[in-house]
Amino acid sequence: MKTFVLPGTGITVPAVVTGVMRIQEKTDAEVRALFDASLAAGIDFFDHADIYGSPVHGCEARFAEAL
């Protein structure tokens, strides 16, 4: 997986990430499949944000529940 350093941070991140903004309505199996497919493709960076989902943190909670 190609990586780059975030300017001004020194943090190395992958060039491709998996976004989880729309996983709240997905089943555990669907979320796990997304996770597994991401890892199989070399993606180990998952984009979470506290504003994703309803209530706030909904998608983060859903991701944790499924895993």
pTM of the model: 0.78
Question: How far is it, in rounded angstroms, from Cα 67 to Cα 60?
Answer: 11
H-helix or E-strand containing 12?
strand 12-14
Annotated domain spans of the chain: 3-66
- Read off the pLDDT of residues 30-60 as tens digits, 9 standing for 90 and up: 999 999 999 999 999 999 888 888 888 889 9
The torsion angle over the Cα atoms of residues 16, 39, 27 and 65, rounded to 10 degrees, is -100
Q: Give Cα separations from 60 to 12, 13, 24 (angstroms).
A: 22, 20, 9
